[in-house]
Amino acid sequence: MNILSIESSCDEMAAAIVKDGKILKSSIVSSQIDLHKKYGGVVPELAGRHHLELVNNVVQSALDESGMVLADIDLFAGTRGPGLAAALLVGSTAAKSYAYAMGKDFVGVNHHEAHILSVLLEHENVEFPFVSLLVSGGHSMVVIVDGLGKYRVIGQTIDDAAGEAYDKVARLIGLGYPGGPLIDKLALQGNPKAFDFPRPMKDEPTKMSFSGLKTAVKYALRDSENAKIEDVCASFQAAVIDSLISKTRFAINKLNSEKLKTTAVAIGGGVAANSHLRSQVKTLSDEFSIRALIPEKSMCTDNAVMIAVAGLIHYNLRGPDGLGVGIDPGWKISDL
């Protein structure tokens, strides 16, 4: 089965074609970083408008790269949520329109589920249950994956997502947008113990918080005139990753206490491309003697390949969606 998928939940317009949920035929991603950079973050109206201008060209590029035409597609998938309403509407409507025009089925995909299931494309024989850490600019949560379509959210942020905190700290320091890759690069040259930044919600294993950490960095910059930016970045990053890893460790222990031994720990989302997080997740997997399901960096940021993978699983589990199904910007994975 050839699946053509469209992802447009935020500032990437992407299209991909995947055969049988495993064989990648094409993947096109059009980023809007340059468009939003001067605003220091994504402007929803601009994102939606730009998606509308690009969607048909991006889909055609995916078809050209695969050597296929629309008649070769068996199933169309689009992101229904969560995400920015103006952006979601473009991609979801386009996918439904193609499905209608070609007389084929459509499935609406949950963006969070797609990040979780993206590891199935790159890793063979994944067993359940496993623990997945989803972390990006829009979400930070720890999920127990009991099986396909079966998810338990064990912990999540009560304020800023981790990626959002990276962007805000980058602005404080005077770096560009997006802040995550820039801070990660500078952190490699700094001392992670130079500043004793707090580990928020340390005694609350099911909660994360990153807004206070941003404030701590603000005060450190104010009170330390000669502070090395590299040390600030390294210390901030250490605090974020320590928090994420501790919450993930709690979920692994919880699952093991249920006598359902965790088979693996996985990561997904834009911050999953962070070098320190990737290394710490590998260390965590070694600690518990389980697999580390770490996707390629290109699969961490928003892409349509993961939408195709999740779309086929959705189709097999739940069947097609009606073309009248709408977007759901607040769609929770617990509501699947």
Tens digits of per-residue pLDDT, 156-207? Answer: 999 999 999 999 999 999 888 888 899 999 999 999 999 999 998 988 999 9
80 and 145 belong to one structural domain: no
Q: Based on the domain organization, do 109 and 172 belong to the same domain?
A: no
pTM beyond 0.85: the answer is yes
- Verify that 28 and 91 share a domain, yes or no: yes
Kindly tell me if the per-residue pLDDT of 39 is higher than 90.
Answer: no
Structure tokens at 151: 């998810």
What pLDDT, on the 0 to 100 scale, is given for residue 145? 96
- pLDDT-derived band at 312 (thresholds 50, 70, 90) equals very high
219-252: pLDDT as tens digits: 999 998 888 999 999 999 999 999 999 999 999 9
CA 281 from chain centre, in angstroms, equals 16
Residue 54 in domain: yes
Q: Which two tokens stand for residue 210?
A: 């990153």
Q: What is the pLDDT of residues 281-301, one digit of tens each?
A: 999 999 999 999 999 998 998
Per-residue confidence (pLDDT) for residue 50, from 0 to 100: 81
Nearest CA to 14 out of 312, 313, 323, 307 is that of: 307
Question: If we measure between CA atoms, which residue out of 128, 130, 134, 131 comes closest to residue 156?
Answer: 134
Backbone CA torsion sign across 131, 135, 139, 141: positive
Distances, alpha carbon 28 to alpha carbons 14, 31, 53, 246, 299, in Å: 5, 10, 15, 35, 12
Q: Are 11 and 19 in contact (CB under 8 A)?
A: no
Q: Are residues 168 and 92 in the same domain?
A: no
pLDDT at 176: 82
Alpha helices in the chain (DSSP H): 33-36, 44-66, 85-102, 111-117, 119-122, 162-173, 179-187, 211-223, 229-257, 275-288, 305-318
Do residue 148 and residue 209 come from a single domain? yes
Which residues are CB-contacts of 321 (< 8 A; sequence separation ≥ 6)? 106, 107, 108
Same structural domain, 84 and 160: no
**Both 138 and 106 in a single domain?**
no
pLDDT digits (tens, 9 = 90+) for 83-128: 999 999 999 999 999 999 999 999 999 999 999 999 999 999 999 9
For residue 143, count other CB atoms closer than 10 A to its CB: 25
Give the model's pLDDT for residue 11: 84
Q: 268 CB contacts (<8 Å, ≥6 apart)?
A: 115, 116, 118, 119, 132, 133, 134, 135, 295, 299, 300, 306
Task: Clarify whether residues 179 and 202 are in a common domain.
Answer: yes
* Domains held by the chain: number: 2
Share of the chain above pLDDT 90, in %: 82
Average pLDDT over residues 305-320: 96
d(CA 279, CA 270): 15
Predicted pLDDT at 136: 87
Residue 42 lies in a domain: yes
Q: Are residues 48 and 24 in the same domain?
A: yes
59, 101 in Cβ contact below 8 A?
Answer: no
Distance in angstroms (rounded) separating the CA atoms of residues 240 and 134: 14
Q: What is the CATH number of the domain that holds 285?
A: 3.30.420.40
Closest among 317, 308, 314, 316 to 331, alpha carbons compared: 314
213 domain residue, yes or no: yes
Cα→Cα distances 270→12, 135, 273, Å: 12, 7, 6
Dist CA 112 CA 116 (whole Å): 6
Q: Does residue 252 share a domain with residue 327?
A: no
Which residue range(s) make up the domain with 59? 2-117+302-335
If pLDDT is split at 50, 70 and 90, which confidence band does 36 have? Answer: low
Cβ 32 vs Cβ 85: under 8 Å: no
Co-location of 185 and 314 in the same domain:
no
In a domain, 122, yes or no: no
Kindly report the average pLDDT of the chain as a whole number: 93
Same domain for 100 and 156, yes or no, is: no
